[in-house]
Amino acid sequence: MKNILLLYFSGTGITSHYASLICAGFEKRGYKCDLRDLEELADLPTLWQKKPVALNYTINAEVKRPLSNYPWPYHDLKRALRSAWANPLFSGFSRDWDKYDLIGFGSPVYAFRPAPVMIRFLLDLPVFNRPIRSFSFATHDGAQGDYEVFMKEILGSKGFNFVGHLDQSFIYSASVVMRSTFNHLSAGRLLQKKSRQAAEKINLFLDYLESLDSDRSYIYPGPGPLSKLVGLPYRLVYSYGIDLILNHFLFGYGINKDNCILCMTCVNQCPQGLIELDDDGYPIRLYHCMYCLRCLNWCPTNALYFSPATKDKARFSGLEVLEESVKRHARDYKPHHS
């Protein structure tokens, strides 16, 4: 194991931060680690809008379908795998990725699964002839559900040798948009604490990866016992529960035109390029949104909201703002020794 590639999608920057921590862990041990943002690698609007149905939940979300029609996530995946194809745009990756001994694929957890755009990308990859070792990584707010199962299945179907999974919760950035306040300083401190925890966990994972090259043969145990143990109730809760929560609190699109300063930040930030302008020149979102929350969070005047639950609520303005807040506090409240 010498050359490592980490490929990630990040809606609001947390997964990107995590990928950097993982890369730093590899580099500390003398490996070469390349970081690639999916948005630089693939044209997301084309990837998404040509075949948007990575999974049904984002498409159907705005139709507010009856709960009884909710597709079981795992069946969803099986169906998607059956109709997977090799996107000619990505055929070059087989050659480009040949130099890597290990590739990590990461995204935030959305609705207990990998972010749909990452699933779409993986489904569109060609099948690799050489079983390159791969692992998945995720950031989430505490419940990653079937994330690992999805990644293991998809990467396996593309010829990768799936060796494990790494994950971390950071600052609960998604629920911020439903809270009335958001304290940058305490969130910044939490970020630092979680980053330290993440680094420790990454180290253990790297020990494990290195053990793969030792004489001991190791068989990846697969997703933890929890998903197998709790089985049906677990699937019911997350199938119906997440649908209920997201439909009522998150999905939707609203704009308070009085607050909009036509800065176009939301238009430029949308990774799927699906915010356009209406007849009056104000932003309007078309379908197939994947709810990364970037437009919502990044709007400088808080003109956008997705539901009454997110209207006039706090916003997560990016990791840099949190880090700056911690630094400023340390500067301003330096203990004075007289």
Ligand X SMILES: Cc1cc2nc3c(=O)[nH]c(=O)nc-3n(C[C@H](O)[C@H](O)[C@H](O)COP(=O)(O)O)c2cc1C
User: Interface with ligand X by CB under 6 A: which residues?
Assistant: 10-15, 108-112, 139-144, 170, 173-174, 242, 250, 291-293
290 binds ligand SF4 (CB under 6 A): yes
Binding mask 264-283 for ligand SF4 (x = CB under 6 A): xxx--xxxx-xx-------x
Spatial neighbors of 170 by CB under 8 A, at least 6 apart, are 14, 17, 18, 139, 190, 191, 194, 195, 198
Least distance (Å) from ligand SF4 to the CB of residue 288?
A: 8
Residue span binding ligand SF4 (CB under 6 A) among the ranges 32-40, 172-180, 188-196, 291-299: 291-299
CA distance 215 to 242: 44
Q: Considering only residues 134-163, where is the footprint of ligand SF4 by CB under 6 A?
A: none
From 260, 314, 319, 322, residue interacting with ligand SF4 (rule: CB under 6 A):
260
**103 three-state secondary structure:** strand
Q: Is residue 91 exposed (0-12), middle (13-18) or buried (19+ Cβ within 10 Å)?
A: exposed
Partner interacting with residue 143 (select from ligand SF4, ligand X, none; CB below 5-8 Å by kind): ligand X
C-alpha closest to that of 167 among 321, 320, 21: 21
Nearer to ligand SF4, 114 or 283 (CB): 283
CA distance 201 to 294: 28
Partner interacting with residue 139 (select from ligand SF4, ligand X, none; CB below 5-8 Å by kind): ligand X
Spatial neighbors of 173 by CB under 8 A, at least 6 apart, are 12, 14, 141, 293, 316
293 binds ligand SF4 (CB under 6 A): yes
C-alpha closest to that of 115 among 189, 48, 195: 48
176 binds ligand SF4 (CB under 6 A): no
Task: Tell me the residue nearest to ligand X as measured from the CB.
Answer: 11
Least distance (Å) from ligand X to the CB of residue 112?
A: 4
304 binds ligand SF4 (CB under 6 A): yes
C-alpha closest to that of 6 among 128, 121, 97, 115: 97
Least distance (Å) from ligand X to the CB of residue 18?
A: 8
Least distance (Å) from ligand SF4 to the CB of residue 272?
A: 5
Cα distances from 120 to residues 8, 70, 95, 97, 168, in angstroms, run 13, 20, 20, 19, 23
Tokens representing 176 are 């911020």
Q: 10 Å Cβ neighbour count for 212?
A: 16
From 80, 299, 314, 319, residue interacting with ligand SF4 (rule: CB under 6 A):
299
301 binds ligand SF4 (CB under 6 A): yes
Nearer to ligand X, 109 or 132 (CB): 109
Site for ligand SF4, rule CB under 6 A: 255, 260-266, 269-272, 274-275, 283, 285, 289-295, 299-301, 303-304
